[in-house]
Chains A and B, each alone.
Chain A
Amino acid sequence: MPLLYPLVLASALFGIGLYGVLARRNAVMMLLGVELMLNAVNLNLVAFDAWFADVVHSGQVLTLFTITLAAAEIGLGLAIILALFRALRTVDVDEVGR
């Protein structure tokens, strides 16, 4: 399998995720965009791991770490969004900014 397949897929997902982060008003949606970008990174890591045939599985292990961190991040992020919502009754980032 050509290495390019996962890499190009990852690039596309990263771009879409970036769009989501930058364009969506809803804070939850921004988080989803971030998750998408993380996944793109994961894809790259795994692809390079498979291609490079790393003895210690750096790519895959780091992917696991990333997934874990993503879980932690989304937990915290959602907690912040909840607190924000309680305080301001909105999760619209445009309005939060005012």
Chain B
Amino acid sequence: MSRRWIYVALTAALATAASIWAVPRLDEPGWFAYVGQGGAGDGPPLPSLSPDLFLYPVSAQVVLLAVGVGLLVQIYSTAYLGHHPRYRSYALIIILFLVGMIAVVGTTNLWVLLVGWEVMGLCSYLLIGHEWQTAEARAGAAKAFLVTRVADLGLLLAILVIGETYGTYDIVGAQIASSQDGVASSTAIGLLVLVAVVGKSAQFPLQTWLPDAMPGPTPITALIHAATMVAAGVYLAARLFPFYADSTVVLTAMAVVAGITMLMGALFALVQTDLKRALAWSTVSQLAFMFAAIAAGDPEAGTDHLISHGVFKALLFLGCGCLMHAVGSSALAAMGGLRRSMPATFWTMSIGFAALAGVIPTVGFFTKDSVLHAIEQSAGEDGGLATGTTYVLLGVALVTSFVTAAYATRLWLRAFFGPVPDGRQEHHGHEAPRAMIGPLVVLAVATFALSIGQPFHLGIGVVGTVIAAGGIAVVVWSWRGGSTLEWTTRPLTAELGLDRPFTSWAPAFARGVSRTVVDLDRDGVDVYPRAGAGVAGLTSRALELVQTRNVQRYATVIAVGVLVLVVAAVIWT
């Protein structure tokens, strides 16, 4: 027991250190202000991992979110996973992950950022594969790692292009250079960054790894695959926003990606039969919301929603972990009627669902409001998105908030109300231990506390509230009408088959090509050594005709040779 608290203490120490560093920065003015001295040199220097750490207010918020959720998850895990034989490696990887996250957020050196970025990916891979005995965990881990790593090549190239364009690998230095000499290569940089964040944040068309990452332990899902790592994509897009802000191509591409992803994720979440997978799709959809804000030219709204989503989604996932702990499964069919046996979980998760649906006065409402406001405001502005695109995006976002409210209500109803499943009437559910409930309560409080000081936009706020209320009302009305809320629309439950390129086509392609290559390597490329051996063999066979170990042959050859030489000598002299 005490061993487990060592890791909690380690995490707490890390969190404390990060907080001491980050909290004073919260009040700094400006959003990613240009500070620092460095500037453009003669050419990009060789990369170095110089720890140029510097926090802006937004970075400080993200750091605090990461270490805060990380600490809560560590505490939660002592109860949730404390008796697991590999708890030690699990807890250590979480700490490593937090270090990576702090590196990503806190540095101005792009290489340090990349290192942290990849360390997070590695930790994600290792933690998804924590239950490596099971095939789903292995497959999910491999998929997550591969997809994100391929996408990370985009970031790698983006860094190279930034270095080449601005002559430095320091973000601040590059910003100074761009303010002095003007922005350049913005489309290339922006598209490459977009590739990277689409992979990391599971946006269309690389979205499928995130739902498949759900075999990982639930606290990990809460930390990495909801609150921090996937959100780091949003953070990065916002951080590097000045470098591509003037490229309509990039912003339009981002808007399209975000629009497709938010609606698709919400629809998929609506029909899931598994609570955890539904929450994963919800994460995908919410991340798309943040990208929509960035595409609309207001990255601050995006990062605000990042923080708020991080809090309430962590709350939902941790609550989901409590439910799984109680009923032994994350399937909605195994739940139902849990509000009586698990009151604490019920109340905290209700707050979480309310935030997800966008109900006043949770933080989810305010930040969603800011995002919608940002999209609305960007219409008609110079630069950035075209007005038409903006209105389409706004429409999609409103539809998505309707669907979001609907699926949040559906999940809430199916998990906590409704009939208890057959055969589970006795001992159905039990409240989770205090170490698990504690973090839930903290996060629930935070869901309200963060609302303080959030801006409120009257017009769009009212529209958003009406739409969310509509979504809730439709589901509740249908529930009252006796529906079981088991909506199984074939194409949606199959997730439109978007998974197929990743699960069957790509591996089949790789296997096929690799088989061809292996065969070719053995039989094709090897031809020239074999042909060489054959020629040598033939030559030796030919020369063997004179080297027969037969004296007479030798003598004959010598005689012929002498004759030829004599004839030659006679002819030429």
Contact = CB atoms under 8 A, between A and B. Distances in A.
Interface of A: 18, 21-23, 30, 93-94, 96-98
Contacts of A94: 550
21 contacts: A18-B559, A21-B552, A21-B555, A22-B552, A22-B555, A22-B556, A22-B559, A23-B552, A30-B551, A30-B552, A93-B550, A93-B551, A93-B552, A94-B550, A96-B550, A97-B548, A97-B549, A97-B550, A97-B551, A97-B553, A98-B549
**Prevailing SS type, chain A contact patch:** helix
Shortest 10 CB-CB contacts between residues of A and residues of B: A97-B550, A97-B549, A22-B556, A93-B552, A97-B548, A22-B552, A22-B555, A93-B551, A21-B555, A93-B550
Contacts of A93: 550-552
A94 B556 CA distance: 14
Nearest to A21: B555
Contacts of B551: 30, 93, 97
Contacts of B559: 18, 22
A96 B549 CA distance: 8
A93 B559 CA distance: 18
Nearest to B553: A97
Nearest to A25: B552
Nearest to A34: B555
Given A22-B555, A22-B556, A94-B550, 18 more contacts: A18-B559, A21-B552, A21-B555, A22-B552, A22-B559, A23-B552, A30-B551, A30-B552, A93-B550, A93-B551, A93-B552, A96-B550, A97-B548, A97-B549, A97-B550, A97-B551, A97-B553, A98-B549
Interface of B: 548-553, 555-556, 559
A72 B261 CA distance: 105
A51 to B, nearest CB: 24
**Prevailing SS type, chain B contact patch:** helix
B490 to A, nearest CB: 80
Contacts of A18: 559
A3 to B, nearest CB: 22
Contacts of A23: 552
A21 B551 CA distance: 10
A30 B555 CA distance: 11
A97 B550 CA distance: 5
Contacts of A21: 552, 555
Nearest to A98: B549
Nearest to B560: A22
- Which one of B551, B552, B559 has the highest number of Cβ atoms from chain A below 10 Å of its Cβ? B552
Contacts of A30: 551-552
B76 to A, nearest CB: 86
A48 B553 CA distance: 33
Contacts of A98: 549
A18 B559 CA distance: 9
- Which one of A21, A22, A23 has the highest number of Cβ atoms from chain B below 10 Å of its Cβ? A22
Nearest to B548: A97
- Which one of B549, B555, B556 has the highest number of Cβ atoms from chain A below 10 Å of its Cβ? B555
Contacts of B553: 97
A50 B550 CA distance: 40
Contacts of A96: 550
B543 to A, nearest CB: 15
B563 to A, nearest CB: 10
A53 to B, nearest CB: 29
Nearest to A27: B551
Contacts of B556: 22
A94 B549 CA distance: 9
Nearest to A97: B550
Contacts of A22: 552, 555-556, 559
A48 to B, nearest CB: 20
A94 to B, nearest CB: 6
Nearest to B556: A22
A22 to B, nearest CB: 5
A94 B553 CA distance: 9
A34 B551 CA distance: 13
A92 to B, nearest CB: 10
A21 to B, nearest CB: 6
A33 to B, nearest CB: 10
A21 B556 CA distance: 9
